[in-house]
């Protein structure tokens, strides 16, 4: 059914026809000692550095050097409101309204802060549902929230698991969990795009199922932001959080995004952990005011933020704004489809793609399961400067990122994979 073709010529031609191909030149691509570009497939782990990032950070260093504390108001991009320069672009990327989004804190911190507000268990309705393959940090966050509220973490945690012999989650199984235990469940905290399998779940459906049993619904979008188009507002989920150093290319450990649905924006009864940055901007510096929380997502900020990290996020978001998520996603589907086609053409039973084959149920990542958990395959790829990521127990994750990976990258990667598989 696919229109893809084999051979290097085809790959080169696709790159020539690709209207987004020039964006690759806007990134630093790591090189081997002969000066050849690495084949970098781990933008799902740490995105590459835009060449413009340095300029954005330098601006803030210069303003700090020249203005000191006056930079809060006098900098070219005044630090007092720096996060506001990011909000509209960030909201657009995840399909949210500006009042629903802020860049603040880091991902796991945001999950905790959001659970302080949206995980309000009672003696009988207190359980939390996560995916069985949830990212460890999310699992630890949820376990410790349960314990913080005096519950047994094992007893309070419900795992939504793939069926025996399967790798992917089925929405009907979440439905069954809610049907059977919904009255005891307070919160669903689900990875919108699973970090391990690359499965992109139907957020709207999850929200509807959760809400039908009066559960709060939170989404971790670490693998979604800048990758898929989650349409957070329309999905109806209550809250979400994501980091910006994966597909959003803002640098190691950079700040995170936070989404709170508009329906909660003006609810002053929500419990929260607050700081001075949660407080009304117009009276923030009248140091003796009672707390007056900002409506919407900004009310979950705590501290004045690290501007250098914000500057790197601005560099990235300006680029995403320029490209537009629609055209990026269109290229992504084509590029990952091509990757899948080439792997399937290898017809090698030592490897198997576990990511959904439906492009609407995945982002750009393909997770390749390796028979007998043979790690040497990943090792040999790395030695050839093909950067992928090994995840226990038996998966190589590869993300052709549409902003900077080319069809030729994908072609060369699969050629090497074939060579290695043939050797072993
Ligand atoms: C990358 C990732 C994290 C990392 O959390 P930090 O707080 O940024 O260190 C957490 N959860 C998921 C699902 C991730 O993919």
**Per-position DSSP letters for 87-150, written without gaps between them:** HHHHHHHHT--GGGEEE-S-HHHHHHHHHHHH----SSS-EEEEETT--HHHHHHHHHHHHHTT
How close is the Cα of 111 to the center of ligand 1, in Å?
10
User: For residue 137, how far is its CA from the centre of ligand 1 (angstroms)?
Assistant: 6
The CA 242 to ligand 1 mean position distance, Å, reads: 7
Helix, strand or coil for residue 403?
coil
pLDDT, position 38:
97
Query: What is the mean pLDDT of the segment spanning 355-366?
Result: 98
Could you read off the pLDDT of 117-143 as tens digits, one per residue? 999 999 999 999 999 999 999 999 999
- As a whole number, mean pLDDT of residues 109-123 equals 98
φ/ψ bin of 253: left (φ > 0), alpha (ψ from -120 to 50), beta (otherwise): left
Measured by CA distance, the residue closest to atom 8 of ligand 1 is 107
At residue 220, the pLDDT reads 98
Cα(241) to centroid of ligand 1, in Å? Answer: 9
Model confidence at 1: pLDDT above 60? no
Q: What is the mean pLDDT of residues 17-45?
A: 97
| Distance from the alpha carbon of residue 35 to the mean position of ligand 1, in angstroms | 32
DSSP string, 250-301: --TT--EEEEE-GGGTT-TTS-----GGGB-GGGTTSTTPPP-BPSSGGGG-
Q: Write the burial class of residue 188 (CB in 10 Å: 0-12 exposed, 13-18 middle, 19+ buried).
A: buried
| Domains present along the chain, CATH in parentheses | 8-37+324-423 (3.90.1150.10), 58-321 (3.40.640.10)
Quote the pLDDT of residue 204.
98
Which atom of ligand 1 sits closest to the CA of residue 222?
15
Residues flanking ligand 1, CB < 6 Å: 106-108, 135, 137-138, 191, 195, 220, 222-223, 243
> Of ligand 1's atoms, which has the minimum distance to the CA of residue 109?
7
Ligand 1: residue whose CA is nearest its atom 13? 135
Q: Which pLDDT band holds residue 424 (cuts at 50, 70, 90)?
A: confident
Ligand 1: distance of its center to the CA of 213 in Å? Answer: 28
Q: pLDDT at position 286, please?
A: 86
Cβ atoms of 188 and 218 within 8 Å: the answer is: yes
Q: Which of 160, 216, 167 is nearest to 187 (CA)?
A: 216
pLDDT at 303: 97
Q: What is the mean pLDDT of residues 370-375?
A: 87
0.95 exceeded by the pTM? Answer: yes
| 84-98 confidence digits (pLDDT tens) | 999 999 999 999 999
Where is average pLDDT lowest: 266-275, 339-348, 415-424? 415-424
The answer to whether 304 is a known ligand-binding residue is yes
Q: Largest Cα–Cα distance of the chain, in whole Å?
A: 72
Question: What band does 266 get if pLDDT is binned at 50, 70 and 90?
Answer: very high
Which residue among 222, 227, 258 is best mutated to probe the pocket of ligand 1, counting the most ligand atoms within 8 A of its Cβ? Answer: 222
Q: Is 85 annotated as a binding residue?
A: no
Give per-residue pLDDT as tens, 281-340: 999 888 788 999 999 999 999 999 999 999 999 999 999 999 999 999 999 999 999 999
- Determine the atom of ligand 1 nearest the C-alpha atom of 246: 1
Closest ligand 1 atom to 220 CA = 13
- What average pLDDT is seen over the chain? 97
Percent of the chain with pLDDT over 70: 100
202: helix, coil or strand? coil
How many CB atoms lie under 10 A from the CB of residue 415? 14
Q: How far is the CA of 117 from the centre of ligand 1 (A)?
A: 20
Please check if 223 is assigned to a binding site.
yes
| pLDDT at residue 355, rounded to an integer | 98
What's the pLDDT score for residue 287? 79
Q: How far is the CA of 202 from the centre of ligand 1 (A)?
A: 20
Q: Which helix (H) or strand (E) holds 86?
A: helix 84-94
Report pLDDT for 423.
87
**Residue 220 annotated as part of some ligand binding site:** yes
pLDDT of residue 211: 98
Please compute the mean of the pLDDT values over residues 38-66 and round it to a whole number: 98
Mean pLDDT of the region 162-190: 98
* Ligand 1 atom closest to Cα of residue 110: 7
Is 160 within any annotated ligand binding site? no
pLDDT of amino acid 289 = 86
User: Is residue 32 part of an annotated ligand binding site?
Assistant: no
């Amino acid at each position: 059914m696919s229109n893809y073709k084999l051979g290097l010529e085809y790959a080169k031609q696709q790159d020539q026809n690709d209207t987004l191909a020039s964006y690759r030149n806007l990134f630093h691509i790591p090189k081997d000692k002969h000066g050849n570009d690495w084949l970098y497939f781990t933008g799902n782990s740490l995105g590459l550095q835009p060449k413009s990032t340095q300029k954005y950070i330098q601006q803030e260093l210069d303003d700090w050097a020249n203005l000191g504390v006056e930079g809060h108001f006098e900098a070219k991009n005044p630090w007092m409101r720096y996060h506001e320069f990011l909000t509209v672009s960030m909201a657009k990327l995840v399909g949210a309204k500006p009042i629903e989004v802020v860049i603040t804190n880091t991902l796991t911190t945001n999950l905790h802060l959001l659970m302080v507000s949206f995980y309000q268990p009672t003696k009988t309705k207190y359980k939390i549902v996560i995916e069985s393959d949830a990212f460890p940090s999310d699992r630890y966050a949820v376990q410790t929230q349960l314990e913080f509220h005096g519950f047994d973490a094992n007893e309070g945690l419900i795992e939504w698991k793939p069926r025996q012999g399967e790798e992917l989650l089925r929405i009907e199984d979440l439905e069954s969990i809610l049907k059977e235990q919904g009255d005891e469940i307070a919160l669903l905290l689900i990875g919108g795009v699973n970090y391990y399998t690359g499965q992109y779940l139907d957020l709207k459906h999850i929200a509807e199922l959760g809400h039908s049993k009066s559960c709060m619904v939170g989404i971790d979008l670490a693998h979604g932001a800048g990758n898929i188009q989650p349409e957070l507002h329309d999905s109806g989920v209550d809250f979400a959080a994501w980091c910006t150093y994966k597909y959003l290319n803002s640098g190691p450990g950079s700040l995170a995004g936070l989404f709170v649905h508009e329906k909660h924006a003006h609810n002053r009864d929500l419990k929260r952990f607050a700081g001075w940055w949660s407080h009304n901007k117009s009276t923030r510096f009248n140091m003796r005011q009672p707390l007056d929380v900002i409506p919407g997502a900004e009310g979950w900020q705590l501290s004045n933020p690290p501007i250098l990290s914000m500057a790197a996020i601005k560099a990235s978001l300006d680029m995403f704004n320029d490209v537009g998520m629609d055209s990026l996603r269109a290229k992504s589907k084509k590029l990952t489809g091509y990757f899948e086609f080439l792997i399937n053409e290898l017809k090698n039973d030592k490897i198997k793609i576990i990511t959904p084959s439906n492009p609407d149920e995945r982002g750009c990542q393909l997770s390749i399961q390796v028979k007998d958990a043979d790690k040497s395959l990943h090792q040999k790829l790395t030695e050839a400067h093909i950067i992928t990521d090994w995840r226990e127990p038996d998966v190589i994750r590869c993300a052709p990122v549409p902003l900077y990976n080319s069809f030729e990258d994908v072609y060369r990667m699969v050629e090497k994979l074939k060579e290695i598989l043939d050797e072993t």
